[in-house]
Amino acid sequence: MSRLIECVPNFSEGRRQEVVDQICARIRSVPGVQLLDVEMDPSHNRAVVTMVGAPEAVAEAAFRAVQEAAQHIDMRRHKGAHPRIGATDVVPFVPVRGVTMAECVETARAVGARIGAELGIPVYLYEEAAARPERKNLADVRRGEYEGLAQEIAANPERAPDFGPAVLGPAGATAVGARAFLVAYNVYLGTADLEVANQIARAVRHLSGGLRYVKALGVAVDRPGQVQVSMNLTDYRRTPIHRVMALIRDIAAHHGVAVLESEIVGLTPAEALLDVARYELCLHHMTADQVLENRLQGGAEAAGLGAALPRDLLAQVSAGTAAPGGGTVSAVSGSLAAALTRMVANLTIGKKGYGAVEEEMRAAEAAVGRLQEELLDLAVRDSASFEAIMAAYRLPKSDDAERAARREAVQAATREAARVPLTTVERTVKVLEFLARIAAAGNVNALTDAYVAIGMAEAAVQGAAANVRVNVASLDDTALGAQFQAQIAALETQAGDLAAAIRGTIAARQGG
């Protein structure tokens, strides 16, 4: 199971498709990141983008998106119905699978620091990543919006950013945070009277005495005879969508106003919609297993080892295409070494005679689990990096400018294609470091599995190292190439020493 986080950056541009396309192109340029959804709202003058991937890849994609938005969006000219403080208004990170909220907080703070240092954009940390309790609520961070912040950021110490300069430029400021899933939910009313929407928003939002886990405001929209109640439902399990809609309908009826329609902005968990179905259709005993797609997925997961074998991967590797190839297989080999290392640890935990090392085994197993997921992500990134090189070679080269741009694109892709297998070797060496500790103290009956883990790790190191060297040979930057060569040589030596030491440990514990 790969480690996934979601990032849902909001950009202050909902009318110029070409600008949003350029931002999305920067997101897609990062291997291992999947762009799931893009929604533009001209009334709000805002775009909401949803991406998922490994934490490191999503962090890089988020930074590139902020960088691109800053080049095209001038907040001094921006007008829209939605509150905002910057070209990239908010960048929330959300744990999806195999990632804790604490890790998302760490990612948010690292990205925020980078935005402030490298782009010179003031950054405010919010929600779970907030460094100051008064900034946990995003509405407090956005108080006064761009125009108000421009007047206060330098003069009021309470508005000083967490990262970056206390100066507001054309790109404004960005709020970076970590949070749980929320549902962005809008309801359209059959009236042009914005005050009705404002009154309903006050009635439903928690801050003014309404429903818990609901944030709401009234918004004027570009629809004749309509206004909108725009909401964020921050915990759809405790305050479900149907409860919010029921209250809005009731209050709207009191004002003699019809609820025309509603919409979900971006993506939402299936569980949130299943709750609505249970309530509205009185399906009191309906379970998630009654959803066909859920049952199919569950059936595949329960089909045993035969279904788990990576036949699709083997078919892609053997197909005769250039990717996936040796670099991807090397990373997969490293992940198998990690899985076997975890196996030895798990066969030690709870076993008689190993109580003294149980805590150490638990900690090591968790750490190697993270390395295993990183190596699987590297398998995907390796294939994507090769495809990026091929795409760069296909760029036009009809004049000097195009040839120069093409060469730089090739070099950038080649640098990435060298870094990925280098990282594969680094992560695999760390697996060997943990394996050395586990083999020395773990269940003696599982040491054969540790022995196999050594071989898988050596294959990963040797294969990935070869991929580093072949890409380094194509780099124009000889200094960087020499740095890569030195790093890979040192790592190969370290891996060889660790493998030999672990084999010695296993032989000694097995009695020769």
Catalytic residues: 82, 382
425 vs 211: CA distance, rounded Å: 51
9 vs 17: CA distance, rounded Å: 16
What torsion, rounded to 10 degrees, do the Cα atoms 83, 87, 88, 90 define? -20
Class of residue 209 by CB neighbours under 10 A (exposed 0-12, middle 13-18, buried 19+): exposed
183: which strand partners? 233
Tokens of 421: 């297998």
> What is the C-alpha end-to-end distance of the chain, expressed in Å?
37
273 vs 276: CA distance, rounded Å: 5
447 vs 502: CA distance, rounded Å: 10
Report yes or no: 235 and 165 within 8 Å, Cβ to Cβ: no
Residue 322 DSSP one-character state: S
Orientation of helix 400-441 relative to helix 478-509, angle to 10°? 20
72 vs 311: CA distance, rounded Å: 45
Tokens of 263: 């919409």
| Other Cβ atoms within 10 Å of 125 Cβ, number | 24
Find the DSSP H helices in 240-310.
241-254, 270-280, 292-301, 305-308
Report yes or no: 22 and 367 within 8 Å, Cβ to Cβ: no
230: which strand partners? 186, 217
172 vs 72: CA distance, rounded Å: 12
418 vs 281: CA distance, rounded Å: 55
Sign of the CA dihedral running 67, 68, 69, 72: positive
Orientation of helix 241-254 relative to helix 270-280, angle to 10°? 60
CA–chain centroid gap for 480, Å, is: 29
Query: Regarding beta strands 214-220 and 123-127, do their DSSP bridges make them parallel or antiparallel, or are they unpaired?
Result: unpaired
Cα–Cα–Cα angle for 48, 49, 53, rounded to 5 degrees: 150
